[in-house]
Chain A
Amino acid sequence: MTQLTDLGVAAIREGVAKGDFTAVEVAGAFNAAAAAAQDALNAFITLTPEKALEAAAAVDADRAAGKALGKMAGVPIGMKDLFATMGTKTTAASNILGNFVPPYESTVSQKLWDAGAGMLGKLNLDQFAMGSSNETSAFGNVISPWRREGSDAQLAPGGSSGGSSAAVSARIAPAATGTDTGGSIRQPAAFTGISGIKPTYGRCSRWGIVAFASSLDQAGPMARDVRDCAIMLEAMAGFDPKDSTSLDMPVPEWEANLNADLRGKKVGIPREYRMDGMDADVARVWDEGIAWLKDAGAEIVDINLAHTKYALPAYYIIAPAEASSNLARYDGVRYGLRDLPPKESAKGAGLQDMYAATRAAGFGAEVKRRIMIGTYVLSAGFYDAYYTQAQKVRTLISRDFMDAFQTVDVILAPTAPTAAFGLGEMVSDPLAMYLNDVFAVPASLAGLPAMSVPAGLDRQGLPLGLQLIGRPFDEQGVLDAGLAIERRAGFTARPAKWW
């Protein structure tokens, strides 16, 4: 028998339903794998083996009782530690929420539990989802299970959903939730050779997800393949009256409608994404992707996304602006860390002193940097030059996409400009780190569904991903094109187990 931890969502669900194995056996196998990998990979902030077993036992009992099983029945998953989980510590990888235990469950996690999934634990991430390498976590770096050929240098699993990408690629979770604000699902998926989709903005409720940048944040699944992503996204998505920006639309049957036949479809190739000095392997894989989609029956069309080069600067104004405001609530007054400076006078420390000490101790350097950038761009006298201008750029970027989608059905581009980089290689240069999001950010600004699928390896044996960007609400088109690539890429590489 194959190892249970080699199975993905669909295979586990099927095996449990058929009785090939029990959900408890599956949960046990992944619990063991997660625990064994924890010291080496640091993928989890909190392990919750008992939660995984509890959910699995309930599924087994339901099956024994002949009850209908949910979409995710018997599948234990990792939960990014940005989703509030009732009774389980939810840290956002920060000190300020280091011991925060929510008295409520996020909508998306609740939907997954309702569908029969169980929780292996809370996954590490970049602090408040701010980062592209998982090096900003207050709970330590996540170490990618991947290594360059002939090297044991530690690599970044991508970010901010770095715990999720590491766990899925290391086979210590069959799937995991991610959140994507400017590439935080797609880039780590690409870095670790797995699939991940950020649906249309509003598909998944943001209720109960610790906010980074409200107009951009969107939850999505990260899994071994396209089908698993489709299954899990169906379980996660859906209208939520508790989120004003939630889409009031039915959730399509993405899994049942998967179709890799792209005859009659047009795929756009944006010229602006082919940058000078582009990594040769990335360019090669992109060309291969074009060939595969052609082979699947699609017509390839060159398109212009003229404002692409402004996307990154606009993103790094809008996202920090929203973050500076969203993170104001972490003030030490009601919950989370409170730090009172020592009394310097008989009067004692005041409210301002408490704010300053709490936030200084509670936030990491990258979070502070973004709060300061965001505060600056919203300040009197700078607002129009930065925030208003960035919003105009955002509108133009959306318009570029809408114009392109007059002609094409889906857009193909690289997910990231490079393969995974080494831990510590970029931390001293935030701008270089931000540039890693260059291909991911435009779809985020436009709120479009976009996914990364593994497409090949670079010359050092590291995974490279291809990105598919679709029309608003057309997750199906994205998944279908992703499936067409998946079938032709034949990506079977996986990290050799060194941990």
Chain B
Amino acid sequence: MSDYRIQGATGEWEVVVGLEVHAQISTQAKLFSGAATAFGAEPNTQVSLVDAAMPGMLPVPNMECIRQAVRTGIAINAQINKWSRFDRKNYFYADLPQGYQISQLYHPIVGEGAIEVQLDDKNPESTKTIGIERIHVEQDAGKLMHDQHPTMSYVDLNRSGVALMEIVSRPDMRSPAEAGAYLAKLRTILRYVGSCDGNMDQGSMRADVNVSVRRPGEPFGTRTETKNVNSVRFVMAVVEQEAKRQVALIEDGGKVVQETRLYDPDRNETRSMRSKEDAHDYRYFPDPDLLPIELDDAFLEECRASLPELPDAKRHRYETALGLSAYNAGVLTAEVETSRWFEALLAASAAKQGKPEGDVAKQAANWLTSELFGALNKLGKSLADSPVSPEAGGELLALVGKGTISGSAAKQVLEKMLETGDAPGVIVEREGLTQTSDTGAIEAAVDAVLAANADKVEQYKGGKEALFGFFVGQTMKAMQGKGNPQLVNEVLKAKLG
């Protein structure tokens, strides 16, 4: 599918990418303790006895975390395992109080699934299906701070025990763009589902990027794993840089070693962290403190029923039922907030115009994607902090739709709305922007213009039809821009024969 190739000295190379995405589950409480999960709290203020691994403390699963993982699995069309189990992954580190992470190696809660990504916004045909091998639920570790004291490290356990989903893709991606599109799409889905807030800058979502290179068509090469990459852009950079590095290494007669690497965004390069030789033996075994998780049909049905319309379905509906362009449908569904805003706008506009949504959807989509996005962009604002609400936007669209104001007047009204936060109706009144649809007034204005320009009327009738625009302009001018352009056109056409 992808023809992304690295041009080496000895020929072309193909890159093979798989991602392991860690997504923090959006819940109030941790995976196995009642402690809170809010971001940015004072160090060690969100730590229960369980999180601190005090003697005799026991984990109790937070079923909301399980539920969110199952909902996510359903959203990627995955196999949901009705029987799953937690395992312990044993290793020593100061940010891991128990000395083991509770995870799921042998029996993950979610099995095989897939998502479809679109590689080019403008080209609906440029899709590719990326396989997902599994989703399992596990505990996050705490955080070490090495820069607080000259000889000691500090430990913050607030994050210790927070629930993560690890979403493991198949090695199905073949370019930086595919890896970026996959991560972006996954983030979109998680945010629709509500199982993860997708805040990559807060560490709520991060990716381990597995990269290898090969000659096109040959078996997979040895892969490296670049840990904890926290933006779509960085993931794409890691794929690019790591593939280049591996090609150069192989072509120089070297060998790629299976190892863990880190990405340094400042230098845009990956660096070795530890090699397989000093890899841990994690001694996974089933956690004897926990019973297997067994899910019944009613639980699965509730998870399924609680899912909102997902991005692919929504996009399809926007195109078919609402008649939007593929591009607009894509833009409006890429973020769950955008689609929510759009749907509120559409509902308000349709209600105020007394028309079905399908009749006013294109107008709403065009206004939102070109007018409002453009205006917010200039102000450096996003939709989330837009001074214009969807309801006010809908009112504005209705004013245009009903012919109360012209399209050009609507632009002025929007500017005033952004400035003042006033309702569009108020602005139209105050600024006197109402357009005239009174045919009598329009006819009078047209008559006056034609009378004053008898010579041009002659020329027009003689075949110089380009003069029609002149008459429109003169009429609008005479009406101080308030004439309904459509009616002005109609009246002029009638009078000029």
Contacts and interface: CB of A to CB of B under 8 A. Distances in A.
A380 B285 CA distance: 11
A83 B290 CA distance: 20
A322 B284 CA distance: 11
A325 B100 contact: yes
Interface string B91-105: 011100111100000
A328 interface: yes
Contacts of B92: 328, 331, 352, 355
Q: Is the interface of A mostly helix, strand, loop or mixed?
A: loop
B250 interface: no
Interface string A313-328: 0000000011011011
Contacts of A241: 60
Contacts of A331: 92, 94, 99
B289 A378 contact: no
A333 B94 contact: yes
B90 A325 contact: yes
A213 B287 CA distance: 11
Interface in B56-110: 56-61, 88, 90, 92-94, 97-100
- Looking at A103, A242, A329, A352, the one whose CB has the most chain B CB atoms below 10 A away is A329
Contacts, number: 101
Interface stretch (A151-159, A203-211, A478-486): A203-211
B276 interface: no
Interface stretch (B47-55, B326-334, B352-360, B468-476): B47-55
A460 interface: no
A104 B54 CA distance: 10
Contacts of A335: 54
Interface residues of B, number: 31
Contacts of A325: 88, 90, 99-100, 283, 285
A92 B285 CA distance: 25
Contacts of B57: 207-208
Interface residues of A, number: 45
A333 B97 contact: yes
A277 interface: no
A211 B100 CA distance: 14
B56 A207 contact: yes
Interface string A237-248: 000011111000
Given A206-B58, A328-B98, A351-B94, A333 B283 contact: no
Nearest to A355: B92
B299 to A, nearest CB: 17
A421 interface: no
Nearest to B50: A242
Contacts of A104: 49, 54
A434 interface: no
B156 to A, nearest CB: 12
Contact of A90 (B55, B58, B281): B55
Nearest to B94: A333
Contacts of B281: 379-380
Given A84-B55, A333-B155, A379-B283, A242 B288 contact: no
A207 B284 CA distance: 23
B59 A244 contact: yes
Interface in A190-225: 206-211, 213-215
Interface string B1-38: 00000000000000000000000000000000000000
Contacts of B283: 324-325, 375, 378-380, 383
Interface in B181-203: none
Nearest to B157: A334
A97 interface: yes
B123 interface: no
B55 A245 contact: no
A207 B58 contact: yes
A92 B123 CA distance: 67
B31 to A, nearest CB: 12
Contact of B291 (A90, A208, A244, A324): A244
A209 B55 CA distance: 7
B58 A334 contact: no
A254 interface: no
Contact of A84 (B56, B60, B151): B56
Closest 8 CB pairs of A and B: A328-B99, A215-B288, A378-B283, A214-B288, A329-B53, A208-B56, A210-B55, A214-B289
Interface of A: 83-84, 90, 92, 97, 100, 102-104, 106, 206-211, 213-215, 241-245, 321-322, 324-325, 327-329, 331, 333-335, 348, 351-352, 355, 375, 378-380, 383, 387
Interface of B: 49, 52-61, 88, 90, 92-94, 97-100, 151, 153, 155, 281, 283-285, 288-291
18 contacts: A100-B55, A206-B56, A207-B56, A210-B55, A241-B60, A244-B58, A244-B289, A322-B285, A328-B90, A328-B92, A328-B98, A329-B97, A331-B99, A334-B97, A334-B155, A379-B281, A380-B283, A387-B285
Given A211-B56, A245-B290, A328-B90, 12 more contacts: A97-B55, A104-B49, A208-B57, A211-B289, A324-B90, A325-B100, A328-B92, A328-B99, A328-B100, A329-B98, A334-B54, A348-B151
